[in-house]
Structure 1
Amino acid sequence: MPEGKIIKALSGFYYVLDGENIIQCRGRGVFRKRNITPLVGDYVEYEAENEKEGYVLAVKERKNDLIRPPIANIDQAVLVFSVLKPSFSTMLLDRFLVLIESKNIEPVICLTKMDLAEEPDELDKYIKDYREIGYTVVETSSKAMQGLNTLQDCLAGRTSVFAGQSGVGKSSLLNAIRPDLELKTDEISNSLGRGKHTTRHVELIPAAGGLVADTPGFSSLDFDEVEAEELSGCFPEIAERGSACKFRGCLHLNEPKCAVKQAAENGEIPSYRYEHYLQFIEEIKERKPRY
């Protein structure tokens, strides 16, 4: 049975890459009965009616998957954040990081529009903080052609998803890396301070020696799949110090002899990161129970 990888899903069709051939496939009805939805990034078995058309018969086991955007088998997530228009937000970045960490996907923080930075000292402090935590931070500007070689090195040989708020420049970055793509970009709406959605579907695009998913932008994330006990594991610097807490299962809230609280008070953990952890855990505790 031939096998391939879904690189695009659109209007009920799955486009399966097998070697250099792309087969346009439909899903068998058995998927609907089993409540299985093939995703971009899935490795599948398919049956070809001819050289260009066929049916997806089976989806191989996934190493990970995301719901928003719907994509599977990702090596790394490039979290694209602009320094201005829209303004850089550590709160939103940390929300993205928690989701990606919870899926055991390696995150890369990519800052765009560096040429527009208005408060470089404050930005440099954030960059230093995230790098000390252990994250890769790439500073880029599509207009100034800054940092593109570094980003390309990160993409080579990997399947990556580009994710971030609308208007941060995801499509502009991909256009700078692969000018022949001519992906549509829109200016930021002055009244809303955010970009229009220019990417309508998920598609894996060959770029910089790897595969890159340009995904629809979105501006909020819910922690529907993260439990309170798991949250600290999505903050590497908190997870590292949590082993020194007096009580096992410490949530680092009001427990006595909490090493994480002590580290936050001593400035070993950035105060905003600990504050975000507290806000997120409160949000998780207050969500409606799932049945």
Structure 2
Amino acid sequence: MRQSKHRALRDAGPVQSAVVVSRGRNRAWVAVEDDGALLLCDYPSLDELPVVGDSVLVRSVDGAAGEGIIVEVLPRVQTITRTTAGGERKTMAANVDLLVIVAALARPELRYGFIDRAVAFAEHQEITPLVALTKADLVDPTVVAQTLALYRDRLRYDVIVLSTVDHRGVAELAERIAGRRALMLGQSGVGKSSLFKVLGADRGARVGEVNERTGRGRQTTTSSRLAYLGHGFLIDTPGVREFSLADLDPRDLAACFRDLASHLGACRFPDCRHLEEPSCAVRAAVENGEIAATRYASYRRALEQASGSLLSD
């Protein structure tokens, strides 16, 4: 029965390809790929509920400007998932191949813990991380150098230093996103809005949040945004606040910290959590400087707050 309804919807008129930007319980915002137009869509009788990043086929609703219907969710290349408190596996986003982790070097103060948990999340989900350090114009160059020394030189992560004041790194960021399906992750006040403004995307849009309870669209300061860049896109959505390491077995958490991972298996006890256990290879590496103290502190905090959000302090 659902298949017949699905086929009827698709055959009712011409369809367009689009990308899901934000989703509520009953409706979703999509950006049409041809022209970037935004549609607030219902999604009745679908076998698979749409999520952020989904490629979908949509049909406009006659007589209702700016509204449409999602008639099909296209096959997913990749998914970001988590386990809910009830043990259910939930898909949070789809078709994302780049996680842009935005952190300010100043105002607010640089939060190493957030960066560390976010890159660990990317490692866990097998998504390429890109660390975007904003507000470089507000700090001494030595701060920039120290941060690059850790994340770029020591840990071998891809890092871009940015300033929307002098446009430092903006062109480089646009090049990295071009052709990719990127999701932006960052705390409040780190300059995400400014980045969207200066990226100079071919098409960019701010869309209203979809109310989870009613499915109705509304304009808020926590709206989702999408920017198209060279056949790729960058999405910033409030939904990423649900992403966390909560469903990761504590025994597997250390493997998501690449500097800790190289010491796993060398501890005295196979089930070592690298906290207070004797003859721990990880703690020995911290003591001799092989692992940065800030990174080990981030690991311990992630372990202690496994149920917390990546965006919590």
Note if contact 2:246-2:307 (Cα within 8 Å) is conserved in structure 1: no
- Partner Cα separation in structure 2 for residue 198 and residue 14 of structure 1: 16
- The answer on 1:28 being equivalent to 2:44 is yes
1:56-102 per-position Cα deviation (integer Å, ceiling 9, x unaligned): 24453451226799532211111111111111111222232233322
Identity of aligned residues (%): 29
Task: From the superposition, tell whether residues 144 and 99 of structure 1 become closer, same or farther in structure 2 (CA, over 3 Å).
Answer: same
Q: Aligned to 2:247, what secondary structure does the other structure show?
A: coil
Task: From the superposition, tell whether residues 181 and 113 of structure 1 become closer, same or farther in structure 2 (CA, over 3 Å).
Answer: farther
Task: From the superposition, tell whether residues 21 and 267 of structure 1 become closer, same or farther in structure 2 (CA, over 3 Å).
Answer: closer
Note if contact 2:58-2:68 (Cα within 8 Å) is conserved in structure 1: no
Note if contact 1:16-1:22 (Cα within 8 Å) is conserved in structure 2: yes
Note if contact 1:4-1:43 (Cα within 8 Å) is conserved in structure 2: yes
- The answer on 1:204 being equivalent to 2:226 is yes
Displacement, 1:55? 3.5
In structure 1, the gaps of 5 or more residues are: 185-196, 287-291
Q: 1:8 maps to which residue? A: 21
- Partner Cα separation in structure 2 for residue 285 and residue 175 of structure 1: 34
Task: From the superposition, tell whether residues 181 and 158 of structure 1 become closer, same or farther in structure 2 (CA, over 3 Å).
Answer: closer
Q: Aligned to 2:285, what secondary structure does the other structure show?
A: helix
1:130-176 per-position Cα deviation (integer Å, ceiling 9, x unaligned): 11111111101011111112212211211111220112111211211
- Partner Cα separation in structure 2 for residue 219 and residue 27 of structure 1: 24
The structure 1 residue matched to 2:102, chosen from 51, 70, 80, is 80
Amino acid aligned to 1:200: S
The structure with higher relative contact order (CA 8 Å, sep 6+) is 2
Task: From the superposition, tell whether residues 86 and 271 of structure 1 become closer, same or farther in structure 2 (CA, over 3 Å).
Answer: same
In structure 2, the gaps of 5 or more residues are: 1-9, 83-89, 207-219, 309-313
Amino acid aligned to 1:40: V
Q: 2:169 maps to which residue? A: 147
Task: From the superposition, tell whether residues 281 and 13 of structure 1 become closer, same or farther in structure 2 (CA, over 3 Å).
Answer: closer
TM-score computed with the length of structure 2 as normaliser: 0.71
- The answer on 1:60 being equivalent to 2:75 is yes
Q: Aligned to 2:283, what secondary structure does the other structure show?
A: helix
Note if contact 1:199-1:217 (Cα within 8 Å) is conserved in structure 2: no
The structure 2 residue matched to 1:129, chosen from 150, 153, 159, is 150
Task: From the superposition, tell whether residues 96 and 69 of structure 1 become closer, same or farther in structure 2 (CA, over 3 Å).
Answer: farther
Q: Aligned to 2:262, what secondary structure does the other structure show?
A: helix
Residue correspondence of structure 1 range 1-291 to structure 2 within 5 A: 4-9=17-22, 12-15=27-30, 17=32, 24=39, 25-30=41-46, 37-44=49-56, 53-58=68-73, 60-61=75-76, 63-65=78-80, 70-117=92-139, 119-131=140-152, 132-178=154-200, 198-201=221-224, 203-216=225-238, 222-284=244-306
Task: From the superposition, tell whether residues 247 and 121 of structure 1 become closer, same or farther in structure 2 (CA, over 3 Å).
Answer: same
- Partner Cα separation in structure 2 for residue 176 and residue 23 of structure 1: 21
Note if contact 2:77-2:94 (Cα within 8 Å) is conserved in structure 1: yes
Task: From the superposition, tell whether residues 23 and 155 of structure 1 become closer, same or farther in structure 2 (CA, over 3 Å).
Answer: closer
Task: From the superposition, tell whether residues 80 and 20 of structure 1 become closer, same or farther in structure 2 (CA, over 3 Å).
Answer: same
Task: From the superposition, tell whether residues 276 and 13 of structure 1 become closer, same or farther in structure 2 (CA, over 3 Å).
Answer: closer
Q: Aligned to 1:284, what secondary structure does the other structure show?
A: coil
Q: CA RMSD in A?
A: 3.6
- Partner Cα separation in structure 1 for residue 43 and residue 241 of structure 2: 31
Displacement, 1:127? 2.0
Higher mean alpha-carbon deviation, 160-169 vs 203-212, is at 203-212
